Amino acid sequence: MKAQEGRTLSRRIPRILLAAPASGSGKTLITCGILQALVNRGMKVASFKCGPDYIDPMFHGRVIGTRSRNIDTFFTDAETTRALFAKNTADCDVAVAEGVMGYYDGLGGVSTEGSTYEVARTLEMPTALIVNCRGASLSVGAVIRGFLEYREDSRIRGVILNQISPMIYGQLKPLLERELGVRVLGYVPKLEELTLESRHLGLVLPGEIDALREKLGHLAAVLEETLDLDGLLELAGESGPLAWREPSLPALAPQGGKPVRIAVARDDAFCFTYLDNLELLERMGAELVYFSPLRDRELPEGISGLILSGGYPELHGEALSANGSMRRSIREALEGGLPCIAECGGFLYLHRELEDQGGVFRPMVGAVPARAFRTDRLGRFGYITLTAREDQLLGAAGTQIRGHEFHYWDSERCGESFHAKKPVGKREWDCVVGNASLYAGFPHLFFWSNPQAAFAYLKKCEEYGSC
C-alpha cells in the first residue's frame, strides 16, 4: 500500500551550523560546549552532525541530553534532507549542527558535493566558522576572507576564534568586523585541561558519563563568558522559513491488528544505529522490540524480523560467546528463515568465530561459516553505493542503496550479494552475505537513501510472520 503524496510544508526553524577550515580546529569540543550551555539555559535543542556519523549524535544524546541526528547530503537528496531536518527539529527552540572535515571538503576531497557547505545551502543555514588561531593573529583574517569569498554564497555569517588570548582577541575583533564585514561571535581561550580524548570509535562507557558531564559543564561556563551566545542565537533566529515536502512512503497493510514485530539489538555491544532508519520502519508499519544479545537468553517472542546493529562486539567477545542460549536462539531463527539485517558489528557476531580485542577467537552465532579477525587499519573506509547482484532480502537484482564502511576487523567471507562502488574514483568490490532472508555485511545502510529497500525487508518480515 502506497501513501499519498505528501504536502509541502514550511516552518521557521532557528538554526546555526558550526564549521571549520579543517579537521582539528576544535569544532567538536566547542560544539559540545555550546550545546551544553544552551541546555543549561533551559532551551530545547536539536543537535546534528554532518556526515556518516552515528557516534557524535549518540554522544550528544547520552552525555548532553539533546535530541540528536546526523545530516548527510550524500545519503539523501535535498528534499529528503529538508524533510528529515524538519521532523527532527519539531518542538525545539533551536537547531545546532556540527560540520565535518573542512567546510568545503566533499566527495573525494575534490568536490563540494556531500560537504558541510552543501548542507548549509540545502538547509539554508547561517554558518559560524571556527578558526584555530594557534600560532597566528592577523593572518587569520586572510583565512576567513578566503572562506567568505571561495563560493559566491558561502553562508558564513559569523566567526569564532579558537585558542587565542583575550588581549589579542580584543584587538582582532573590531579589525576583522570592519575589514571583512563578518560578525565575530567571541573566542575560546587555550583550555589544555578541557579536551575530548580520542577513543575506540568514540566509545563512551557508562562510568565515564558523569565525568564527561562535569567537564562539559566547566566548558559551558567558560563559553558563557567568552562567546557571544546571545549573538549566536540571534544569528540562528535570522534563518528564514524552511520549506519541505512530506515524503511519500509505502506502508504495510493492516493484518487484523497483528503488527510486524522487529527485534532490534541494543546494548553496549550493539549501539551503532541510525535512529532515522528505525523511525522509518515504524512509519512503514513495523513495531520495534529491543533486546540485548549480551544479557537476554533468547530472542523476543512473536517477532517477524531481526536487526543486528553495528557496535563493539569485539570488546564484549567473552560475554557474547558465554551467552550460548542467545547464540543458539539466533542461529536457529535464521536457519528457520527469519529475515535479518546484520551490519558491521552485527555481521561480525554472526560469524562462526570472532577475534576479540584481546586477540582471542571466540565462538559466535555461526550463521556465517567463517572467522572474523582484527587488522591494523581501517578497511574500505567511506561512502559507497551498493547495487544488488542478485534478488535478495532488500529487493531484486539492481536494487541500489547508499551506505558507508568503517571497520578495523575483516572477514574470511565478506560475501558477494552486492557490489560496492566508491562515489569518486575507481575503487569497487563485492560484499554482503545475502539471500532471500539475510543481509549480512560490513556496509552500514541509510534506509532513507532508498525507502523501497527497507520496505522490501518489511514485506519479507510480513510474509515470514504470516506463515
Low-confidence ranges of the chain (pLDDT < 50): 1-4, 199-203
* Cα 382 from Cα 420, distance rounded (Å): 11
Q: Is the dihedral of CA 341, 342, 344, 346 positive or negative?
A: positive
- Chain-centre distance for alpha carbon 444: 10
pLDDT score recorded for residue 97: 96
The catalytic residue positions are 344
First to last CA, the chain: 20
pLDDT of 196: 60
| pTM given for the model | 0.93
Predicted confidence at residue 256, as pLDDT, reads: 67
Query: Is the separation of the CB atoms in 440 and 338 below 8 Å?
Result: no
User: Is the C-alpha dihedral spanning 98, 104, 107, 108 positive or negative?
Assistant: negative
SS3 for 202? helix
Look-up of cell digits 575503487: 427
Distance in angstroms (rounded) separating the CA atoms of residues 218 and 77? 39
| Strand locations in 198-265 (E) | 241-245, 260-265
Decide if 350 contacts 440 (C-beta within 8 A): yes
CA 234, distance to chain mean position in Å, is 27
Distance, CA of 175 to CA of 185 (rounded, Å): 13
pLDDT at 65 (0 to 100): 82
- What's the pLDDT at 321? 98
Q: According to the model, what pLDDT value does residue 255 have?
A: 67
Longest dimension (CA), the chain: 74
* 68 φψ region: left (φ > 0), alpha (ψ -120 to 50), beta (else): beta
Which residues have a Cβ under 8 Å from the Cβ of 234 and sit 6 or more positions away?
none
Q: Look-up: residue for cell 536457519?
A: 335
List the one residue out of 299, 303, 330, 274 whose CA is nearest residue 445: 274
pLDDT the model gives residue 199: 45
